[in-house]
Amino acid sequence: MKDNKRIRIALTKGRLEKDTVALFEKAGYDVDQLRNKGRRLILEIPDSGIDVVLAKAADVITYVEHGVCDMGVVGKDTIDEHSGSFFEVCDLGFGRCKFALAVKKGDDFYAGFGVKTIATKYPNVTRRFFEAKGMDVDIVKIEGSVELAPLLGLSHGIVDIVETGTTLKENGLEVYEDVSAISARVIVNPVSMKLKKAAIEELVAKMEQYKGQ
Ligand code: PRP
């Protein structure tokens, strides 16, 4: 059985993890273990009642949904693609980027009448985007470097994450239309929210207070 007094929060390994650790530090938590973690995946914030789990983005959602982690920090991109039953309680403001429809520079995506093909790592986000327009598209799932698909002639466009725009630019592509904004979010398991309400609300309040500082 989990110790009911403790909260377990899953962080998305990598940049969101680093930004969250920096936020914890600003909020006054001892983050030494988190900074010097080696290959450890479960760490303790001393004298806080908080345990930190490091996981891949989609797994953060899985652990929070199953209630083995009470909370998580994950990108809106992963939330939008995977959905699930949890509360999204806070926008941390970092990890900002966007989903965009991109095409080869100068291409008019909506020209012509044929069904368009879109390559993406995010088929659910893509499907919803075009469904909202009432537009029928063929979606091809790609695992990475999606920019290749239009260059190789596999697709008319891509729906992908754009941060600086450098990857698109260096590969002769450009944003055709924005799809949605992305940033890091705090998610909470609904049962944990009931059973550990005070502790969770205290941590979320601290994160809200120190974000953007
Ligand atoms: C992401 C995304 C773009 C790139 C956008 O890829 O899929 O390729 O970052 O960033 P930019 O606008 O700053 O150039 P990621 O690095 O996650 O690798 P991947 O292509 O293997 O998914």
Buried b (16+ CB within 10 A) or exposed e, 160-176: bbbeeeebbeebebbbb
Pocket test for ligand 1, best of 16, 159, 163, 164 (most atoms within 8 A of CB): 163
User: Which residue did the predictor score with more confidence, 48 or 213?
Assistant: 48
Judged by average pLDDT, the poorest of 78-82, 83-87, 175-179, 183-187 is: 83-87
Residue 148: predicted pLDDT: 98
- Answer whether residue 3 shows pLDDT above 60: no
Residue 188: predicted pLDDT: 98
Pairing, β 184-188 against β 87-91 = antiparallel
User: Around Cβ 152, how many Cβ atoms within 10 Å?
Assistant: 9
User: Around Cβ 141, how many Cβ atoms within 10 Å?
Assistant: 11
| Among 68, 139, 46, 3, CA closest to 55 | 68
The proportion of the chain whose per-residue pLDDT surpasses 70, expressed as a percent, equals 98
Q: Which residue stretches of 15-154 are H helix? A: 15-26, 32-35, 57-65, 76-82, 123-132, 148-151
Number of H helices, E strands in the chain: 9, 11
**33 touches ligand 1 (CB under 6 Å):** no
CA–chain centroid gap for 204, Å, is: 18
Q: What's the rounded mean pLDDT across residues 88-114? A: 96
The ligand 1 atom at the shortest distance from the C-alpha of residue 163 is 12
Judged by average pLDDT, the poorest of 1-15, 78-92, 132-146, 185-199 is: 1-15
Q: Is the pTM of this model over 0.85?
A: yes
AA identity, residue 55? A
User: Around Cβ 110, how many Cβ atoms within 10 Å?
Assistant: 11
**77 touches ligand 1 (CB under 6 Å):** no
Q: What's the rounded mean pLDDT across residues 147-158? A: 98
- Answer whether residue 1 shows pLDDT above 50: no
Q: What's the rounded mean pLDDT across residues 54-69? A: 98
